Structure 1
Amino acid sequence: MREEALEILRALTGNPGADFHPGQFEAIEALVAQHRRALVVQRTGWGKSAVYFIAALLQRRAGAGPALIVSPLLALMRDQVAAAERAGVRAAAINSANVTEWSDIERMLDDDALDVLLVSPERLVNPRFRAEQLPRLIGTAGLLVIDEAHCISDWGHDFRPDYRRIRTLIADLPADVPILATTATANERVVHDVAEQMAAGGHEVFTLRGPLGRESLRLGVLELGTSWRRLAWLSQHLNDLPGSGIVYCLTVSSAEETAALLRKAGHAVLAYTGRTDQAERLAAEEALKNNEVKALVATSALGMGFDKPDLGFVVHLGSPNSPVAYYQQVGRAGRATDSADVLLLPGLEDRDIWHYFATNAMPTQARADAVLEALRSSDRPLSAAALEARVDLRRGQLELLLKVLAVDGAVENGQGGWTSTGQPWAYDRDRYERIAEARVAEQRSMLEYQGDIDCRMAFLTRSLDDPASAPCGRCDRCAGQWYPSDVSLDMEQGAQATLDRVGVEVQVRAMWPQGLDRVGVTVAGKPVKGKLPAEEQVSEGRAVARLTDLGYGNSLRELFAPDRDGRPVDRDLPPALAAAVLRVLKEWDWDERPVAVAWVPSADRPGLVESLGAGIARAGRLEPLGPLALREGAMDAAANSAFRVRDLWSRFSVPPAMAERLATLSGPVLLVDDLIDSRWTMTVAGRLLRLAGADAVLPLALATVA
């Protein structure tokens, strides 16, 4: 068997002299010869995919059915299918990126013409796939592979609800079908959790755990303070880093900003984020693989699935929220090179960003109850868009919650949309609280990594409970600072000037959200829906910056930061931000200069908004119309568009004196607010001004959320 497996390995790698890494053949033997369940925890680049491709082909040669590989890595799927074909393994993938190929792949399954089928985890929740394909695959499978197995575990840094279907999948498999789970980022708690799930039915799990230290990586942390100093350092020293690599950022806006600044400085870089079109993502990946660019400036959208063995460096502008997540991202570098550089440039804003993402990640009892009640009370299936009109959840939160409920069997997605199964569902408060506590502990640990520790690599591998953790002898704590820390004055001033730019465009709302009639929003008894009439729309607006921006984002986050109890604080407008507002107005390329200023009354920061509106009127010699009238009472923090519009619909009104003055004015009116989130406040309030006679309404705010 070893000779046959070695022959496949050499075909797979294209290297006639290739041999197994320690542990690789042992894992293959456990799967093929002994039909065992194996959990392999090995560092990135060890060759986990070689194990399952070789095992799959050996199983096929022994008369078993095709292997089913569950993987969240769309980018890696493409590479793996190509690599498998080189070794004579007939492989195909079913995922959201190749819908047009699904029918062909299903025919190949019917003809028993596939050795390996890779599926994305969301396929396991798809009703048609579960009904038509999964039972046959389970009945004939020669091997089940769970790639990136830490995603199964609640405690994994990248837990995904779709992966919880695998628990059922494992339980349904015939007892003699071998199972392989692989990961490079699992601490002892995750290993125990995954092994426990694999052991369903009383099976023993063979765990193969190798050392996680990466000898090729040289780690470092450089504290530079301000955003512009970090960008200046990167612009000055990017070409000093070896080969081509990845610059990770925490938010989409910072990735796009950083890429633009680096390109302006003459560097060949591309942005890669969740907003990047699929075709552009593929082109960017190829450009980096072919060393046509120095770097991709990316968010975590460029994650586990990207495979470039000779990646020369990984730089982080801002810190990930856990050592495990950081280890996973830096593990992209130096897989087939003797050395690669890894540098973290932490930011002052990191903790704020961690908190924002953490508060949007977990389901709550109230959200789940609202979704289940909406589905139970409906006489037909509901799409996600239709559900949005019935529950106060943003689309991303709603889709995540539906996945959780689907995996728990409380809802299902079928023809026409989502329905309730009628099965009872209980919110596991203790579990989610324990997970939240674990996330906070991980954040504290990531801050500790940035401090005076003994060894950076040893710290990361200890975080993964690696029993072989030891000082690396190469990082900046073991061998001293290996990276330059100087930033030239010209570079710093240039970066500061770039970040000092102001004026984010605020796109107008032109369509009402679905379902307003269901939440009681009508005009003269008629439903409000469709496109806003032109005479009721506001024009394109401006904000000083986004809260997530690298430039004015820091000052704006400080301005809007709550007190220790989480309550809003009505602070004075700092002079620097006041000057930035005037610059926005000066640089605004409007068709017609505004003639007056009105402002949105604020329950949380009334002093800030009034001083902003009145100050703009004085500085621009515009007529101060004052605030709109505000209905008494607190406003719920609605997240969903339909509910947001419902709450805003009767909240404001145009005072009689303002209406009289609007009727006599000729020209646009500035409508001022402190913070724009959903854009519905500006849409609803601006509509009132238009109906009262304003020729046009120009929204202006200090910040936008995104």
Structure 2
Amino acid sequence: MSNNKMSRPADALVEVADEHLDKVLHSMAGETAVAHDDQRTAVHALVAKRARVLVVQATGWGKSAVYWATTSAIRSLGGGPTLVVSPLLSLMRDQVKAAELAGLRSATINSANVGDWDTVMQNMESGDIDVLLVSPERLANPKFAQRIVPIIEHAGLIVIDEAHCISDWGFDFRPDYQRLSHILTASGATPVLATTATANKRVTADVAKQLGDSTLVLRGSLARSSLRLSVVPGLGPLERYAWVDEALGRIDGSGIIYVPTVADTERLSGFLASRGHRVVAYSGRLEAGERERVEDELRANQVKAVIATSALGMGYDKPDLSFCIHVGSPDSPVAYYQQVGRAGRAIERADAILLPAETDEDLWKFFATASIPDVDNIDTVLQTLKESGEPMSVPALEGITGIRRGRLESLLKIVAVEGAVERRDDGWRSTGTPYVYDEQKWAAIRTARAAEAELMRAYASGRGCLMEYLQRALDDSEPGPCGRCSVCTQELPLGGFDVSTESVNAAQVYLRGADVIIEPRKLWPKGVEDGRSGKIVGAGPGRALTYADSPGWRDVARVMSGPDLPLDAEIFDGVVSVLSRWRRQWQRPVAVVPMPSRRHRLMITDLATRIAKIGKLAIIDALEVTGPAPTDDAASLVKVQALVAGLHLKPGVTLPTDGPVLLVDDTYRSGWTMTIAAAILREAGVPAVLPLVVHQLP
């Protein structure tokens, strides 16, 4: 930014800013496009004053035009390239296309193009690229972060997109992203632009504070006149599936159907496809190439709907997306607004329809505290790292501390924000910087999330204008009844209709006929005291009657948490149907082995006995368990140690060596109980073990 052209008088720089803003808008939106006042204000501040600017505006307002226009102006003046940090691959891909429309040379560095990194970095260093888009995860890599430091230092502009992610108060807080924002904004000479469409006053103030006291905040109304918000209450699990089935035949255009979990994407998309709809599932588990293919198919209207988790959200650009249906409620109205904001960006009307679920409350409770670290766990981790004196991997820390891996990884990232730990190529190490647990802050966050859940509860129950609820959640300056939503009009979406019994029955038949495959554990955790290590020789792929809270078997979860009684005829017949489908793919078992159970010994023994009778198989009570059971949230090593010590083969038992055995249990969560039982049976000479459970838990 030291180029002489950048030293022009402020008035001259403003003229350059205006010229490039108009040029970029015309290239992106047509010759008739006119800049918003706040777009001009933002570009002026970034180009002429090298300011720090936070733009909080509704989806579709034109936030990306601000950073492309600023980039174009700064590059014309001889300034450095722009570095954009984006949290999602789908967002990056759309930004690359938008940059190209604006006449800028852009490139990305992310997990999907590892082979291109060296070339991209060379082009960036040589000035052949105007814009580099990077994911926070890449910048978190120590080697990569070190290499990109010179680029940060010579950048003409730094953009932090979806900036609510760097706020503790944001609905999608990401500690890695927050820590990196500190690094990116360390240079006071480089202009910084942060943008988001989903920030209330608290998040806005927090992000502005992180950028600096002189940050210019440009905030507009977040209400969307094109959105027709509706709630369809009172539907049961199968009725929600049936409602979506019938709605897709009534609604024009293409859209997104949001569900809470990966399993839901697979279940609902499978059912809808069986009903003749062109749909596809989308979640974070898809490979990058598959995600891009699905996004492009939706953009080209080659599918009616994408059944997605929140992985398809921020930044996905399809201006004519005509509907957004939620099967189950997000945990906050801000998160809901962010997702429905994908729809109706360039069309007069788009439907945003919520089908509340009876499981919503449990999800809200979980997400209210899921990302808040436990102070005792923090102390344990810091003490372990301090005593080690050397970097430790997450698996090693998990084994020593007993903290489950997901919680451990989240905890480390949060503590790293305060500089108490740092990530290196060979693991995490203590920096020696004290970490002070801010109980007041975390308590306030819990309170804020509880308040958001109450707002979502009110929204889902239709207590008032739906758009007004979203506006209030986002602290919009002029909330008020919209006159368009289902509460204001007292009209259900799509003319209102009753779901047919035929569609409800079809949903149940489909869900009960879908195979739930149990993938066996493959590797022992490090540090098992009896010497087990490396590849596990144990169970083969298994089957479950149902997974999590599948609508096909609503009563199973209740039965599994209830008293120790034999399964009723309907559930037992469902298990038999699973075996009937499975037998086409297996070598017939020669015996049934019931798992020893502390909770449902009668249930499991009865189930195994009835299966053995129908299949004319031997039943062998081969296993016994002693000692205390490990807790559900214990780390893998802790569970394995307890199970290895307590699970044994009964003395004098004779096991078959001429064929597989069916290993039967009630539930399956981590898989370690069945893994160790299967390993014991294999070590005793059983050639194969086939796991069968009633309920697989997430």
Mapped contact 2:25–2:65 kept (Cα < 8 A): no
Say whether residues 1:582 and 2:583 are aligned partners. no
Residues 1:610 and 1:502: Cα distance change in structure 2 (over 3 Å): farther
Mapped contact 1:254–1:550 kept (Cα < 8 A): no
Q: Which amino acid in structure 2 is aligned with residue 492 of structure 1?
A: V
| Partner of residue 103 from structure 1, selected from 105, 118, 126 | 118
Residues 1:572 and 1:356: Cα distance change in structure 2 (over 3 Å): farther
Q: How does 1:43-62 map to 2 (within 5 A)?
A: 43-62=58-77
Correspondence for 2:49: 34
Q: Secondary structure at the match of 2:513?
A: coil
Correspondence for 1:7: 22
Correspondence for 2:681: 689
Cα offsets for 1:302-343 (capped at 9, x unmatched): 120311111111111111111110000000001011111111
Identify which range, 5-14 or 40-49, moves more after superposition: 5-14
Correspondence for 2:79: 64
Say whether residues 1:499 and 2:511 are aligned partners. yes
Correspondence for 1:297: 307
Cα offsets for 1:23-63 (capped at 9, x unmatched): 21122222223333222111100001101111222223334
Q: Which amino acid in structure 2 is aligned with residue 195 of structure 1?
A: A
Say whether residues 1:85 and 2:100 are aligned partners. yes
Correspondence for 2:244: 234
Cα offsets for 1:107-135 (capped at 9, x unmatched): 2232233333322222342222332322x
Cα offsets for 1:616-645 (capped at 9, x unmatched): 456656554447322133424454333322
Q: 2: distance between equivalents of 1:569 and 1:48?
A: 57
Q: Which amino acid in structure 1 is aligned with residue 68 of structure 2?
A: F
Cα offsets for 1:363-404 (capped at 9, x unmatched): 323443444344444465444444444443444333333322
Identify which range, 538-547 or 306-315, moves more after superposition: 538-547
Residues 1:173 and 1:622: Cα distance change in structure 2 (over 3 Å): same
Q: Secondary structure at the match of 2:168?
A: coil
Correspondence for 1:183: 196
Q: How does 1:163-562 map to 2 (within 5 A)?
A: 163-166=177-180, 168-169=182-183, 172-174=186-188, 176-199=189-212, 203-356=213-366, 360-378=370-388, 380-479=390-489, 480-483=491-494, 484-501=496-513, 503-509=515-521, 511-515=522-526, 518-522=527-531, 528-533=532-537, 537-552=538-553, 554-560=554-560
Mapped contact 2:282–2:306 kept (Cα < 8 A): yes
Mapped contact 1:411–1:420 kept (Cα < 8 A): yes
Q: 1: distance between equivalents of 2:682 and 2:129?
A: 63
Mapped contact 2:404–2:633 kept (Cα < 8 A): no
Q: 2: distance between equivalents of 1:67 and 1:356?
A: 39
Q: Secondary structure at the match of 1:204?
A: coil
Superposition misfits of 4+ residues, deviation over 6 angstroms: none
Correspondence for 2:636: 641
Unaligned runs of 5+ in 2: 1-14
Mapped contact 1:249–1:298 kept (Cα < 8 A): yes
TM-score after normalising by structure 2: 0.90
Residues 1:605 and 1:428: Cα distance change in structure 2 (over 3 Å): farther
Mapped contact 1:389–1:519 kept (Cα < 8 A): no
Say whether residues 1:678 and 2:670 are aligned partners. yes
Q: 2: distance between equivalents of 1:560 and 1:514?
A: 28
Q: 2: distance between equivalents of 1:693 and 1:191?
A: 64
Cα offsets for 1:543-592 (capped at 9, x unmatched): 1111142322x32333345xxxxxx8657645432332233234331645
Q: 2: distance between equivalents of 1:298 and 1:495?
A: 19
Q: 2: distance between equivalents of 1:697 and 1:103?
A: 47
Q: Which amino acid in structure 2 is aligned with residue 520 of structure 1?
A: E
| Partner of residue 154 from structure 1, selected from 148, 157, 168 | 168
Identify which range, 419-428 or 225-234, moves more after superposition: 419-428
Identify which range, 451-460 or 615-624, moves more after superposition: 615-624
Cα offsets for 1:220-267 (capped at 9, x unmatched): 111252222111121122032221111111111111111111111111
Q: 2: distance between equivalents of 1:120 and 1:112?
A: 20
Mapped contact 1:594–1:668 kept (Cα < 8 A): yes
Cα offsets for 1:582-612 (capped at 9, x unmatched): 3323433164544543322333444544444
Q: Secondary structure at the match of 1:478?
A: helix
TM-score after normalising by structure 1: 0.89
Q: CA deviation at 1:678?
A: 1.8
Q: 1: distance between equivalents of 2:667 and 2:295?
A: 36
Q: 1: distance between equivalents of 2:456 and 2:612?
A: 47
Residues 1:296 and 1:452: Cα distance change in structure 2 (over 3 Å): closer
Q: 2: distance between equivalents of 1:379 and 1:27?
A: 48
Unaligned runs of 5+ in 1: 523-527, 562-567
Q: Secondary structure at the match of 2:284?
A: coil
Identity of aligned residues (%): 45
Mapped contact 1:43–1:213 kept (Cα < 8 A): yes
Q: 2: distance between equivalents of 1:513 and 1:250?
A: 31
Correspondence for 1:565: none
Q: Which amino acid in structure 2 is aligned with residue 672 of structure 1?
A: V
Q: 1: distance between equivalents of 2:427 and 2:160?
A: 28
| Partner of residue 629 from structure 1, selected from 613, 624, 627 | 624
Q: 2: distance between equivalents of 1:379 and 1:196?
A: 35
Q: Secondary structure at the match of 1:431?
A: helix
Correspondence for 2:4: none
Cα offsets for 1:442-482 (capped at 9, x unmatched): 22221210113231111111111101222222111112223
Cα offsets for 1:126-178 (capped at 9, x unmatched): 222332322x344333323221111111110000011222452366212x433
Cα offsets for 1:638-676 (capped at 9, x unmatched): 5433332222112112223xx43x347965433222211
Cα offsets for 1:345-365 (capped at 9, x unmatched): 122223334445556433323
Mapped contact 1:314–1:343 kept (Cα < 8 A): yes
Mapped contact 2:544–2:696 kept (Cα < 8 A): yes
Mapped contact 2:152–2:184 kept (Cα < 8 A): no
Q: Secondary structure at the match of 1:151?
A: helix
